[in-house]
Structure 1
Amino acid sequence: MSVRIGIGSIPFGDAPGPALAELVDVCEALRIDSIWLPDQASENGIDPLVGMAYAAGRTTRLKVGTGVLVLPGRNPMLVAAQLASLAALAPRRILPVFGLRSASPAERTLFPVPAGQRAALFDEALLVVRRLLTEPSVTHHGRFFQFEGAAIAPLSARPLDLWLAGKAPAGLARVGRFGDGWLGSFVTPEEAGACRRAIEEAAAAAGREIEDDHYGTNIAVLPPGTPDAVRDIALQRAAERRPELDPRLLVADGWAVARERIRQFVDVGLTKFVVRPATAVGSWRGFLDGFAAELAGVQT
Structure 2
Amino acid sequence: MSRVGVLFPGFYPGSSLPPDPAVLTTAAQVAEREGFDGFWVPERVTGLVADPVVALAHAAAVTARIGLGTAVLTLPGRPPALLATQLASLDRMSGGRLTVALGLGRADPGEQQAFGVQRAQRAALFDEALPLLRRLWREGPVTHDGAAAHYEGLDVLPKPHGAGPALWLGGASDAQLRRAGRIADGWLGASTTTPRAAERARAVIAAAAARADRAIGDDGYGSVVPYRYRDAPLGPVQQMVLDRLRAERVVGGVDEFAPTLDRLPDRLRELTAAGLSTFVLVPFAEPADWEEELCALAAAVLTARTPRRRAATYG
Same fold flag (TM > 0.5)? yes
Q: Is the 8 A contact 2:209 2:215 kept in 1?
A: yes
What is the correspondence of 1:175-186 to structure 2 with a 5 Å cutoff? 175-185=180-190, 186=192
Contact 1:235 1:247 in 2 (8 A): no
* Gapped regions of structure 2 (runs ≥ 5): 307-315
Aligned length: 297
The residue that corresponds to 1:268 in the other structure is 274
Partner in structure 1 of residue 3 of structure 2? 4
Unpaired segments ≥5 residues, structure 1: none
Q: State the identity as a percent.
A: 35
Q: Identify the range of structure 1 (102-111 vs 118-127) with the bigger mean alpha-carbon deviation.
A: 102-111
Shift of 1:270: 0.5
Task: Output the CA distance in 1 between the equivalents of 2:221 and 2:229.
Answer: 25
Shift of 1:249: 6.2
Task: Write out per-residue CA displacement over residues 97-142 of structure 1, whole angstroms, 9 at most, x where no aligned residue.
Answer: 0010125443222111145211101111112112112212211112
Shift of 1:268: 1.4
Match of 1:123 in 2: 127
SS of aligned partner of 1:44? coil
- The one-letter amino acid paired with 1:165 is G
Match for 1:146: what amino acid? H
RMSD: 1.9
Aligned AA for 1:10?
Answer: P
> Which residue pairs with 2:205 in the alignment?
199
TM-score normalised by the chain length of structure 2: 0.88
TM-score, length-scaled by structure 1: 0.92
1:208 corresponds in structure 2 to: 214
Q: Give the drift of 1:233.
A: 5.2
- Pair 1:105–1:25, CA change in 2 (3 A): same
Separation in 1, partners of 2:23, 2:232: 22
The amino acid across from 1:180 in the alignment is D
Task: For 1:134 and 1:211, locate their aligned partners in 2 and report how far apart those are by CA, in whole Å.
Answer: 21
Q: Does 1:281 align with 2:287?
A: yes
Larger displacement relative to structure 2 (133-142 or 288-297): 133-142
State how far apart, in whole Å, the 1-side matches of 2:128 and 2:117 are.
13
Q: What is the CA distance between 1:53 and its match in structure 2?
A: 0.8
Q: Deviations over 1:224-255 (max 9, x none)?
A: 1x43243x853541442462131446523211
Aligned position for 2:166: 161
Matched, 1:144 2:148: yes
Amino acid corresponding to residue 5 of structure 1 in structure 2: V
Q: From 90, 102, 105, give the equivalent of 1:86.
A: 90
Query: What does residue 75 of structure 1 align with?
Result: 79
Deviations along 1:142-164, one digit per CA (max 9) or x if unpaired, are: 23311111122332224321000
Question: How far does the alpha carbon of each residue in 1:183-205 deviate from its partner, in whole angstroms, 9 at most, with x for none?
Answer: 00111011101000000011111
